[in-house]
Amino acid sequence: MSQAPLLRVRDLRCAYGAREVVRGISFDLWPGEVLAVVGESGSGKSTLLNAVAARHAPTAGTVEFAVRQGSDGAGDLADIYAMTEAQRRLLARTDWGFVHQNAADGLRMNVSAGANVSERLMALGQRHYGRLRAQASDWLERVEIDPTRIDDRPDTFSGGMRQRLQIARNLITAPRLVFMDEPTSGLDVSVQARLLDMLRMLTRQMQLAAIVVTHDLAVARLLAQRMVVMQGGYAVESGLTDQVLDDPQHPYTQLLVSSVLPP
Amino acid sequence: MYVAVKGGEAAILNSYRLLAQQRRGDPAVGELSIDHIAQQLRLAVDRVMTEGSVYDPQLAALAIKQSAGDLVEAIFLLRAYRATLPRLAYTEAIDTGRMVLSRRVSATFKDLPGGQLLGPTYDYTQRLLDFSLLATGTEPAADTSTHVSAPAPSEVAPRVIDLLNHEGLVEDQAVPAGDPEPFDLTRQPLRFPADRSARLQNLARADEGFLLAMAYSTQRGYAESHPFVGEIRFGTVDLCLVPEELGFEISLGDIAVTECQMVNQFKGSHTEPPQFTRGYGLAFGHSERKAMAMSLVDRALRAQELGEEVTAPAQMPEFVMSHSDSLESSGFVQHLKLPHYVDFQSELELVRKMRKAIARQDKGAEPDTERDAHA
Amino acid sequence: MRDPHIHFAYLDERTKRMIRRAILKAVAIPGYQVPFGSREMPLPYGWGTGGIQVTASIIGSDDVLKVIDQGSDDTVNAVNIRRFFQRTTGVEVTTDTTAASIIQTRHRIPETPLAEGQILVYQVPVPEPMQHLEPLEVETRKLHALQEYGLMHVNLYEDLAHFGQIATTYDYPVLVNGRYIMAPSPIPKFDNPKMHMNPALQLFGAGREKRIYAVPPYTSVESLGFEDHPFSVQRWEQPCGICGARDSFLDEVITDDQGGRLFVCSDSDYCAKTQSAAASSGTTL
């Protein structure tokens, strides 16, 4: 396992017009590590995620990713905003995943579950229908979707199922880094729990690195080894999840922690 | 015994003859002259010139006669004619600020320098069929009982936009750096994103009905922009040319145009002071509906440029500009009349095959091998 | 026959030069759609103006022209276009595929194999193979540039999942020279294999959409498919009811109102030749 970070973010700033919403965020992310970005709405956490995932250009700072070179997986850090759009799009299709809060944003709602899941494989050149279907079927099982629903369209799925489908669609190419924007919000509590368990298992099994944006501390506790707390665009506290949640130092973190109802 | 059908050429020649008969109508009725059309169907001529992209009332009248009054067909004739004409020179841009006005109205101010000049318009007529027009051949006796002297065409009047601009109330439409050549749609294909000159040229040539519907949609909630008619002016402008050999401007004559400046909902942020935004429309002859529709659609298409959310078809340049040309739309819609029996044959075969496969399955027979592959 | 008041082949020379430059670029990048300043022609957009502009730009007084529509020289559309060229160029016209130097076609490739030096000009209604999946040109341009053709294969996968077979029977997308996915125009998929390694030059003109593309001679043209569901062509159970051919595309003709049917060659020249060959060799049908 490489000792270099997978992702390096330095002094990242983002703005909408004159309004700055991300004010100088820095962190490293290591292979297989899950980082939670926690904050209330308006804290800038979603913008931060989009900037790191090359979906929203920052106004300052750098985002570097260790692009895969050769079969050993190790690579030098490369500035993603210095790449061509073609390189970024390739990265987004293969080595990265992006799980949207609203599953419909991350799926093709008008094609079958099987097509959704196998699209990335087809984009990479796989041309055997039977094998594509078998892999898709396999992944549907892994995310606990009944494989007989492989030909059904996502608009016939429940919210939880759509979310799991989205995850399968992203993970089938074994990406090394997955971005998740509020992956469980809007789902029933029991459905959330199941999904979180599944995500935890998958990230561990596949040694996925992930950045998970959430307002829910329980999600952070369950999924992430480290977390960053954001307020008004600033990172006010960061560290090991358990430490930050059990012994918050910053007043805002203390407020967040204290307002969480005990289970 | 079946013999393959022949006789395509004979059929075409016969259809020409039938078409000529249809166009002429009853031979006992006098033939329509080009002058009749140019003078008394003037507004049809104006539309054909605008969408045909040629300012020549005689040619437009000829096209209307040849197409038996089908204006889209007449526009096609004029465009096809124009396509092969050599380019002799480029005129100077017309200055509508110096228009000799026949009509000039503004909805934004009750009164203004130059005044509200109603001019010739259907706007305030009652739409009652006038049966006195059934009579032809003689000049109608002039009704002198209520004599209203028609004012002479007005002197030059300043533009409302320029008046608003003195206070900086309207956004600046600055000439782009270096004053580049405008895009020429008749020479280059339209690509997206399209710049302003390409957009305006596309809209100027656009089918009036389509543009009208798109404009109307913006007034009904499909992207509201709260428009006001800043000014409509109709009259003649001087067409000027600077020949290389002379080095100074000469006048080629006048052309009649209609211009509409639409003023829209102000934009602004807490750092930028609000201003009114603009939409622009221009057409040959007296074509207010067209110029107004064009100005509304021009403004709607600037949504992205002005940082507005794009929610409606009228705000989508690719949607509007790809479907605005009547030659393209009419041609492709009507091309469905062409033989498509080879394609249809393929579809027939597929449908039959699929139905057979389902019938076999229903009968409980062995499933079709292709379906079997993914059981 | 030639109308002396009209410039040779109707288009002005400057326009022809512009179109030829576009053609050269298209030939240099097989399968890539080159935008060009399509002119308004005396025939409507959607009725073959792209093919006509291509032909008009390359035709010379020594050329021999054949024009077909749905495989036949005699459909009204083919007649109309052929008359247009006769009137504006006075070139020799023919129905014989082997005698033509330029063949303009709507929706079929002739059955008779083509030779080096011949040019096949296709009339194209929709040049963008992904238009029905992604209407925005700005987006499809990017997909072509980045070779992101996942969308096309998703579409084929869906067909297999729902119908058990690929439901596209004409204008079947192809991969040209291993690089660009191209719309071959609404030829039946039966004709697709003829495009591969063809000794003739194949030019494609879309007048309304303003694109020209090309497949140079001896270029690889592969129809999209899956390894385990390879591309396959249509087959008929019966031969042509007139000439007896078993290897050509057959049109279905309804002969009576009892449901009687006859299948005949779509390619009129091929049918006539097969018929006369059978007659001269004494073969019975």
* pLDDT value at residue B271: 64
**Cβ contacts of C158 on chain A, cutoff 8 Å:** 111-112, 115
Phi-psi region for residue C249, left (φ > 0), alpha (ψ -120 to 50) or beta?
beta
Question: What average pLDDT score do residues A246-261 get?
Answer: 88
Distance CA B25, CA B19 (A): 10
**Cβ contacts of C225 on chain A, cutoff 8 Å:** 127
Higher pLDDT, A185 or C206: C206
Phi and psi torsions of A210, nearest 5°? -150, 150
Element (H, E) at C176: strand C174-176
Tokens of B118: 């109603």
* pLDDT value at residue A263: 54
Taking the Cβ of residue B9 and every Cβ of chain C, the question of whether any pair is shorter than 8 Å is answered with: yes
Q: Is the Cβ pair A119, C158 closer than 8 Å? A: no
Total residue count of chain B as it appears in this document: 375
Distance CA C167, CA C169 (A): 6
> CA dist C211 to A208, B334, C22, C41, C180, Å?
45, 20, 9, 15, 15
Please give, rounded to a whole number of angstroms, the shortest distance from the CA of C60 to a CA of chain B.
19
Residues of chain C short of pLDDT 70, as ranges, are 283-285
Say if the ipTM goes beyond 0.95.
Answer: no
C130-156: per-residue pLDDT in tens? 988 888 899 999 999 988 898 899 999
Higher pLDDT, A153 or B128: A153
Nearby residues of A99 by Cβ (< 8 Å), 6 or more positions away: A106, A163, A166, A167, A170, A178, A179, A180, A181, A183
Residue ranges of the alpha helices (H) in chain C? 13-28, 49-58, 76-89, 137-145, 150-163, 192-195, 268-280
Higher pLDDT, A134 or B10: A134
pTM: 0.81
C243 is catalytic: yes
Radius of gyration in angstroms for the set of CA atoms belonging to chain B, rounded to a whole number: 27
Residue B204: alpha-carbon gap to chain centroid: 5
Angle, nearest 10°, between helix axes A113-123 and C150-163? 140
* pLDDT value at residue B368: 47
Interchain CB contacts (distance < 8 Å): B and C: 157
Tokens of A65: 């990713």
Taking the Cβ of residue C213 and every Cβ of chain B, the question of whether any pair is shorter than 8 Å is answered with: no
In this prediction, residue B321 has a pLDDT band, given cuts at 50, 70 and 90, of very high
* pLDDT value at residue A16: 84
Task: Give the percent of chain B with pLDDT over 70.
Answer: 89
DSSP B85-147: PPP---PPPP-GGG-EEEEEE-SS-SS-TT--B--S-STTS-----GGGG--SSPPPP--TT-
A65-124: per-residue pLDDT in tens? 998 765 555 578 999 999 998 889 889 888 999 999 999 999 999 899 999 999 999 988
* pLDDT value at residue B116: 87
DSSP, res C240: -
Strands C64-69 and C92-93, how do they pair?
A: parallel
> CA dist B273 to B108, B167, B174, C90, C184, Å?
21, 12, 18, 67, 54
B198-246: per-residue pLDDT in tens? 999 999 999 999 999 999 999 888 877 788 999 999 999 999 999 989 9
Question: What average pLDDT score do residues B125-147 get?
Answer: 68
C260 is catalytic: no
Q: Is the Cβ pair B339, C125 closer than 8 Å? A: no
- Which residues of A have a CB under 8 Å from any CB of C? 85-86, 89-90, 93, 108, 111-112, 114-115, 118-120, 122-123, 127-133, 150-151
What are the percentages of helix, strand and coil residues in chain A, rounded to 5? 40, 25, 35
Cβ count within 10 A of residue C210: 25
DSSP A90-126: HHHHHTEEEE-SSGGGGS-TTS-HHHHHHHHHHHTT-
Nearby residues of B114 by Cβ (< 8 Å), 6 or more positions away: B101, B104, B154, B155, B156, B157, B158
Nearest C-alpha neighbor of C206 from the set C171, C180, C179: C171
C265 is catalytic: yes
Distance CA C180, CA A258 (A): 59
> CA dist B113 to B106, B151, B168, B259, Å?
11, 17, 18, 18
Distance CA A187, CA A184 (A): 6
Mean of per-residue pLDDT scores for chain B: 87
